[in-house]
Amino acid sequence: MIRADHARRTLRLHAERLAHTATDPAGPDPAAATLMQADALGHVLDDLAGQFAPHPGSLPRTTHSGDVPRQAGEEELDEERLLLATATAYPANVQQMRWLAAEDFILPLHAALWQSVTALVHRGDVVDPITVLGEAQHHKLLTDALTPRDLMALVSTPAGSPEYWGEKILQRALLARAHTVADRITAYTDDPANTPYQLITGSRRALADLNALRTRWNRATSPTPASTTSAPARSAPLPRAGPPHRPALSAARTHR
């Protein structure tokens, strides 16, 4: 019982550290710091697995409410808009961005528009504001809140490079996933009905969700050959003369 209580407290402590690191804006490299905490948690799980024998029914019985919808601030939405604009301007760069998935976006509409752009790219079609508009119309993405004029404006104001904005979006998704994983593990440790081995098994499964995104993050941030397009690779944008046109997208500001 003493060993079991110690294992529970240890897992909870590391989960809390993971959650804190994933939401700490002060660090110079939040993704690296968060993944370091995830590695530390993984090492703890490996150590504990050698101390407790497996048994049938090794998954936690704890129910959790699922992922909390990510809240979209104006900065996050602006980054997603700028990715769509730069991807339309520099589609050759998009061919190398298979590490970015629709699930990484906060706004479902932006995720759907990203899929429209990448569909054009992977088919080898011409990519420009007109063809993106056509693809969006084909998938019935236009609404009263997003008119053809709104969409044309959205994808016609590039700044920087697609990789730069894509990495920002992916990093936000990585940190959000880390926080979700930490909350799930904390919920397991709070349930006294879970045995130590159930805690270990459930925590490992939760951590695997983060590791899947880590793989894509590593692909995104690995050095790649210089692009042949005119877009500067992974460059921050130059200051713009004024704020971008922002269509009225108030209907769906959380991730599905």
My answer on whether 124 and 90 are in the same domain is yes
Q: Tell me how many domains the chain contains.
A: 2
Rounded Cα–Cα distance for residues 138 and 116 (Å): 9
What's the pLDDT score for residue 256? 39
**For residue 236, is it within any domain?**
no
My answer on whether 84 and 157 are in the same domain is yes
Distance (Å) of CA 80 to CA 68, 126, 138, 202: 20, 22, 21, 33
Rounded Cα–Cα distance for residues 51 and 172 (Å): 35
Q: Are 218 and 61 in contact (CB under 8 A)?
A: no
pLDDT of residue 228 exceeding 70, the answer is: no
My answer on whether 79 and 141 are in the same domain is yes
**For residue 143, is it within any domain?**
yes
**For residue 237, is it within any domain?**
no
Task: Give the CA count within 13 Å in the CB-facing half-sphere of 250.
Answer: 1
Rounded Cα–Cα distance for residues 234 and 162 (Å): 7
Rounded Cα–Cα distance for residues 251 and 206 (Å): 31
pLDDT of residue 244 exceeding 50, the answer is: no
Structure tokens at 178: 């880390």
pLDDT of residue 227 exceeding 60, the answer is: no
**For residue 251, is it within any domain?**
no
My answer on whether 79 and 93 are in the same domain is yes
What's the pLDDT score for residue 67? 62
My answer on whether 164 and 177 are in the same domain is no
Q: Which of 167, 161, 177, 173 is nearest to 219 (CA)?
A: 167
Mean pLDDT estimate for the chain: 86
My answer on whether 80 and 141 are in the same domain is yes
The mean pLDDT of 33-53, rounded to a whole number, is 93
What domain range is 114 assigned to? 74-168
Rounded Cα–Cα distance for residues 45 and 18 (Å): 14
Categorize the per-residue pLDDT at 64 as very low, low, confident or very high, splitting at 50, 70 and 90: low
Q: Are 151 and 178 in contact (CB under 8 A)?
A: no
My answer on whether 51 and 87 are in the same domain is no
My answer on whether 26 and 150 are in the same domain is no
My answer on whether 16 and 80 are in the same domain is no
**For residue 256, is it within any domain?**
no
Q: Are 15 and 182 in contact (CB under 8 A)?
A: yes
Better pLDDT: 243 or 174: 174
**For residue 233, is it within any domain?**
no
Rounded Cα–Cα distance for residues 176 and 104 (Å): 10
Q: Are 247 and 154 in contact (CB under 8 A)?
A: yes
What's the pLDDT score for residue 60? 82
Estimate the share of the chain in helix, then strand, then coil, as percent rounded to the nearest 5: 60, 0, 40
What's the pLDDT score for residue 99? 97
pLDDT of residue 182 exceeding 50, the answer is: yes
pLDDT in tens, 161-175: 999 999 999 999 999
Categorize the per-residue pLDDT at 222 as very low, low, confident or very high, splitting at 50, 70 and 90: confident
**For residue 138, is it within any domain?**
yes
Categorize the per-residue pLDDT at 238 as very low, low, confident or very high, splitting at 50, 70 and 90: low
